[in-house]
Structure 1
Amino acid sequence: MQTAIVTGASKGLGRAIAIELGRAGYAVVVAARDQAGLDETVELAKAAGAPATLAVAADLSQPEAPDAVVKAALDAFGRIDVVVNNAGATKRGDFFTLTEEDFISGFALKFHATVRFCRAAWPALAKAGGSIVNISGIGAHTPEPDFTIGGSVNSAIINFTKALSKRAAVDNIRMNVLCPGHIVTDRLEARIKVRARDQGISFEQAREEMRLAQHIDRYGTPEEIAHTVAFLVSDKASYIQGTVINVDGGATPGI
């Protein structure tokens, strides 16, 4: 059966993506630090129709973790058709309060883990004619002074994906980037709470002010990101290669 690895799948976007790919008929391998969160994702994926699941708890910022997850997937299912590199949250804040370690850890989990998973899964993906979707973010296109780590990491992921997509095409692998905008997750809720606290306003007011500042009609849902990923890895997207797709409600104004 076709098999998909989804990283950062213990909650949020990763969980929604794993559930959607399970619904599409993939055996789903989920990876993140939080075993309890992964177990919940697995149950939800099964309920959605996933024919098989595997949860691998691992610190994906560690160099050996991607190889271990890929090996576990191959041992369990014998093939890998899809890799969705979604793991990684980076610290926000004033540049002069962010530390060297903040930058190192931000790149270690989101960028270096993406690179390592691509390398580890490449032979299996080439054999299967598979697909890679790397999750970046619209911060790659719209630099903000409090998002110097995340914006830099997201830009690096786009550059890496576009560069490697040339080799991927030769090896019968499709490789694309998805940039979510403001999606309703625990991470977004936390940002709104900080905004409300700092400005001395209600959560609802802070939420609305953030929406208006982004010039969007509403916030997105994790399921909308998951639907786009499911499309990108499907045969319906077979002519999409090395492309960056923004799912942001129109928040990104650049060409």
Structure 2
Amino acid sequence: MDRGLKGKAALVSGASKGIGRAIVQRLVAEGMQVLGIARGGCDVPGAIGFALDLRDPAAPEAAVGHAVRDFGRLDLVVNSAGATQRGDFLALTDEAWADSYAGKFFAAVRLTRAAWPHLKAAQGSVVHIAGAGGKIASADFTIGGSVNAALMNLTKALADRGVQDGVRVNCINPGSIRTDRLTGRIRTAMQEQGLDEAGAAAFLAKSTGVARFGEPEEIAATVAFLASAEAGYIQGAILDVDGGWIRAV
């Protein structure tokens, strides 16, 4: 299916692995020019990789400048960077909170702000990758949950601005997606429950009430849809791609 993305330009953060890498791969396959940024760079064939630590307040401006110089335009920004720290609330330090907010929330704020004039010129769009934890609170995910909730609120606020400027802003909440981070949780469950890998994966999936874990490519496909003209009337949406984990209205 031709989504009308060929020749357009995208900037994707968190592009070195997992969901971010899958997004870069999908957008390249759609014919987009893609700059993938991450602390370790991005080695997806067909994309330009740029090593940047978005916790540095100056990095987002540098990333946008790089994209515009290379492509001459910018049509899409995907904020997929930032792993937040898990742990008991009483054990999490101020440094852990500050680092998690800097790497995910403030990185998204700064990258979107730097890109906005170019997105306005191109009548482009922004997609935030937040997470189901922003809607489902848990004691060991206080940082991640609050960061994801903040990204959802930011989505609505920027969509309000986007109506005026012609920039669409939407958010995806992935559920349990089979990434390196989830693989670590599966290994922990194997040890704690005495299960093999398949059994531990099934145990974890059942504990969240879903039939299976999602794949990074499924999130990437949703990004491609939201960036396309087919989604032209979707503005300020919070889209749960979680296998049915979130059941609240």
Q: Return the alpha-carbon distance in structure 2 between the equivalents of residues 20 and 253 of structure 1.
A: 29
Alignment match, 2:136: 142
- Alignment partner of 1:76 is 2:66: no
Equivalent residues, number: 243
- Structure 1 residue 201: deviation in Å? 4.3
Work out the percentage of aligned pairs sharing the same amino acid: 48
- Alignment partner of 1:31 is 2:25: no
Provide structure 1 residue ranges, at least 5 long, that are not aligned to the other structure: 47-52
- Structure 1 residue 209: deviation in Å? 1.3
Q: How do 1:190-229 and structure 2 match up within 5 A? A: 190-229=184-223
- Structure 1 residue 163: deviation in Å? 1.1
Alignment match, 1:57: 51
Aligned to 2:21, which of 15, 18, 22? 15
Aligned amino acid, residue 33 of structure 2 = A
* C-alpha distance after superposition, 1:165-186 (max 9, x if no partner): 1001110100000000011111
Alignment match, 2:79: 85
- Alignment partner of 1:101 is 2:95: yes
Aligned to 1:239, which of 215, 227, 233? 233
Q: How do 1:163-182 and structure 2 match up within 5 A? A: 163-182=157-176
Alignment match, 1:110: 104
Q: Return the alpha-carbon distance in structure 2 between the equivalents of residues 120 and 148 of structure 1.
A: 29
Quick check: 2:202–2:212 contact (8 Å CA) kept in 1?
no
- Structure 1 residue 197: deviation in Å? 3.1
Alignment match, 1:252: 246
- Flag the 1:97–1:197 CA change in 2: closer, same or farther, 3 A: farther
Aligned to 1:160, which of 151, 154, 160? 154
SS for the counterpart of 2:225 is helix
- Alignment partner of 1:129 is 2:129: no
Q: Return the alpha-carbon distance in structure 1 between the equivalents of residues 214 and 81 of structure 2.
A: 19
Provide structure 2 residue ranges, at least 5 long, that are not aligned to the other structure: 1-6
RMSD value over aligned CA atoms? 1.1
Q: Return the alpha-carbon distance in structure 1 between the equivalents of residues 207 and 79 of structure 2.
A: 29
Aligned to 1:151, which of 145, 150, 172? 145
Q: Return the alpha-carbon distance in structure 2 between the equivalents of residues 243 and 109 of structure 1.
A: 23
TM-score normalised to structure 1 length:
0.92
Of the structure 1 ranges 225-234 and 214-223, higher mean CA displacement relative to structure 2 is found in 214-223
